Amino acid sequence: MSVPIRNHDIAELRRLDLAHHLPAQADHRLIASLGGSRIITRAEGSTIYDGEGNAILDGMAGLWCVNVGYGREELAKAAYEQMLELPYYNTFFRTATPPTVKLATRIASKMGGHLSHVFFNSSGSEAVDTVFRLARHYWKLKGEPQRRIFISRWNAYHGSTVAGVSLGGMKAMHAQGDLPVPGVEHVMQPYLFGEAFGENPDAFAARAAQAIEDKILEVGPENVAAFIGEPVQGAGGVIIPPEGYWP
């Protein structure tokens, strides 16, 4: 899609960035020493462009979420039409909107089995917080309120809220808020290269999976609410578990 290129004042944007903007998960002192953030001005397909005109391959798809690429005219038109018709309404008051119902139906049709309902959130962190509360409430309703322990993995990333950071396994983030909160336990990550370079992949997969069962037995199966794990550890380094781990 051809769009006009705006004539941004990049130097002024970098100055204002330092003066007013706190970027996510970044060393602000380092950014200041560089004169401000790199200003990304536009994108097309899988390529982003900065204010100096450099073309950069966006191998991370934004932050893993621009899966269909940039500049998709059909998406821009659909968003424009929906914004004119109904840009927003909530679901708090026994209300729903056509896109909400239709998208939930489409997602449910792809999940199969008993996963037939979808609860929408604005971010992954918010979704994880919801799951954290929901799982504990579920066990309380089932008459097992002692099931409060979540088992996660070291070096996992599940968001930047209090519950998300607690469930994640990044120690530097734990140190920022005296986390994790009580009731969260961590086990080894299934990272063959980093944890056991040279070990037989099948043996390592079994050992990493066994660590979860060992933790369940340690804390008591009757006390466990859930295990949480990224299929692929994204922020941890795009860590793909050995083939036998998830089965």
Q: Residue 247 is which amino acid?
A: P
**Residue 110 shares a structural domain with residue 138:** no
Residue 87 lies in a domain: no
**Residue 99 shares a structural domain with residue 154:** no
pLDDT value at position 222? Answer: 98
Q: CA-CA distance, 150 to 36, in Å (whole number)? A: 40
**Residue 105 shares a structural domain with residue 179:** no
Q: CA-CA distance, 153 to 232, in Å (whole number)? A: 12
**Residue 147 shares a structural domain with residue 186:** yes
Residue 199 is given by DSSP the state: S
**Residue 137 shares a structural domain with residue 193:** yes
Q: CA-CA distance, 120 to 91, in Å (whole number)? A: 10
Q: CA-CA distance, 167 to 186, in Å (whole number)? A: 8
Q: CA-CA distance, 236 to 123, in Å (whole number)? A: 18
Residue 33 lies in a domain: yes
Q: CA-CA distance, 136 to 183, in Å (whole number)? A: 11
**Residue 62 shares a structural domain with residue 97:** no
Mean pLDDT of the chain: 95
Contact 233, 191 (CB under 8 A): yes
**Which residue did the predictor score with more confidence, 4 or 208?**
208
**Residue 42 shares a structural domain with residue 65:** yes
pTM attached to this predicted model: 0.87
Q: CA-CA distance, 47 to 66, in Å (whole number)? A: 11
Residue 244 lies in a domain: no
Residue 25 lies in a domain: yes
Which residue reads 């004042």 in tokens? 9
Q: Residue 51 is which amino acid?
A: G
Q: Please provide the distance, in angstroms rounded to a whole number, between the alpha carbons at the two ends of the chain.
A: 43
Tell me: the pLDDT tens digits for 103-157?
A: 999 999 999 888 999 999 999 999 999 999 999 999 999 999 999 999 999 999 9
Residue 247 lies in a domain: no
Tell me: the pLDDT tens digits for 20-66?
A: 999 988 999 999 999 999 999 999 999 999 999 999 999 999 998 99
Assigned token pair, 77 = 């038109």
**Residue 157 shares a structural domain with residue 64:** no
How distant, in Å, are the alpha carbons of 63, 72, 108, 145, 169 from that of 132? 23, 35, 21, 14, 15
Residue 5 lies in a domain: no
Residues making up the chain, counted from first to last: 247
pLDDT value at position 137? Answer: 98
* Domain CATH code at residue 67: 3.90.1150.10
H-helix segments, 115-200: 124-141, 162-167, 171-174, 192-195
Among 130, 143, 124, which Cα is nearest to 62's?
124
**Residue 128 shares a structural domain with residue 212:** yes
* Domain CATH code at residue 221: 3.40.640.10
**Residue 192 shares a structural domain with residue 215:** yes
Residue 241 lies in a domain: no
Q: CA-CA distance, 30 to 34, in Å (whole number)? A: 6
Assigned token pair, 69 = 């690429």
**Residue 40 shares a structural domain with residue 105:** no
Residue 85 lies in a domain: no
Q: CA-CA distance, 178 to 171, in Å (whole number)? A: 10
Range of the domain at 19: 10-73
- Total domains in the chain come to 3
